[in-house]
Structure 1
Amino acid sequence: MTATVPEARVDMTDDRQDTAERLLRSSAELSFDPTTEVDWETPLDRTHHGMSPEWSSLYGTAYWDELTEEQRTELTRQESASVASTGIWFEMILQQLVLRDFYAKDPTDPAFQWALTEIADECRHSIMFARGSAKLGAPAYIPKRSVVALGRLCALTYSGEAAYASILVAEEVLDVMQRDWMRDERVAPFVRTINNIHVVEESRHMRFAREETRERLRGTGRLRRQYQAVAVAAAAYFIVTSMWNEQVYENAGLDKERALREAKANEHHKAMLRSSCAGLMEFLSSCGLLTKPALRFYRRANLI
């Protein structure tokens, strides 16, 4: 039996290299430059939404029914910018996690080269989101100070499966939302282009994150798996609950206190979040990362 162990490890390494090589080829064949692909020059048409209205935190509430169409479009533009700002915040954490993971490793390894390619993608995405938010007429929606501090801690301490599964969580939730927005003609055309670019390029990132999560979990003991499951769930909670900044309502000209109350009780929005995470939860369960303590975080974030 001992003779088969090295062979299995070689096969896993070969599979990992094959995946990285395929992702590198895909990146060379299908990547975008947001500076030229996105229409930054045409003035914003304020009749357009910033996201599909069904994804608004107030959609389906009594307050939403009272809003004028102008108020609804302004709200979704502010919400879209808030989600984008959260994306920038997490992408900066992601870059640190990946850089730490591949620090001083073999640069001839396709996985190493793919990691740098992914970081380059994330840099472009962050600039794209920033410019998009500015064009939507929104301010910078920075997460709460406590969440920013926790993000710094995660960037310094998360590794292995916790790092890659956390990356996957953020990317999967955004992916489902943005697939809806990029097809919706009610959404501003430049926002649809931004979403399309992000969906195409993040599909490669998600593939790599899934492969790395599975690989890092091979042979892990129960105690480590239990700990990492909670670490990933905590990251998911703070990422998702930061996407809709409390200030979006005031900046859209709404009654902030009433909007917060109705958004918190909005069962439609909770159902949309759960639907966006169905595939993610199935994957985490298959990896043994949906433990009872972890489930508490996912339920509080309305992800399950």
Structure 2
Amino acid sequence: MLVSMKAILDDANKNNYGVMAMNSINIEMVRGGIMAAEEEHSPIIIQFGPGQMKNHAHMEEMLPLVKELAARVHVPVALNLDHGSDFHVLTDCINAGFTNVMFDGSSLPYEENVRRSAMISALAHGMGCSVEGELGHVGQAAASDDTDVDLYTNPDQAADFVNRTGVDALAVAIGTAHGAYPKGKIPKLDFERLRLLKETLKMPLVLHGGSGSGEENLKQAVAGGINKINVATDAFEAAKKGMLDALKEDPGMDYLHLCMAAEESVKQFVKAYMKVIGSSGRYIYGEAVSTSRE
């Protein structure tokens, strides 16, 4: 069932578990993720970034796909725009039926981030769509942005930001970064900062750059108050690995079965991830959550 991301994350916040938000760019990834959620009795968030929608995961094709697959299962599925910054893209997604949009104003001056985040929140909420904001800045692993403490989220400023913008969830910077870390590196997260953020805000918090962060970091982040974990790089690698392993076993395998191998690999990856972050088994009896608008 397609629901608001707020409905999913409010429950995760109340019951202290994490929800996987997987960037998905084709039917194999979307179906693999949603079928994993159904089998694990877990909520899931499917999301696309503006670049992904422009290059391959076109909204006009992917939105009906997500709606159809979500309607077949008995667990909550949300559809999120990841890292939206362009006003027209954000409003197009709200109008089209996304159940959440993320406005990323983290690279803007603080007051401009507040102004634009508040505007998007007002527009989205009026259409039954929830909103994720970002304060601090989750940069790129390749640039070692994860070690730049100046980019981390300030708890006192975060309280002002949430109060003035009305966002439903907040992406925080505590030591992760987007993309692949250098080989062998596992980021060091600022769990004391996370504790202060959770105590101050008492709302759903989001960890961007979940890929490559390490199982123990993920478990500790969830225990400290993270409720949504964004995963792109690791999910793409799971799909790629499924295809490569299948080709290694059978070099003559046709494209149909390669796609099936990628989907199965994504599904198994997502199921394992859900167990780590504590979302498995949360909807064994199909408890109802607030449904999204049509």
Larger radius of gyration: 1
Which structure dedicates a bigger proportion of its chain to helix? 1
| TM-score scaled by length of structure 2 | 0.22
| TM-score scaled by length of structure 1 | 0.22
Which structure dedicates a bigger proportion of its chain to strand? 2
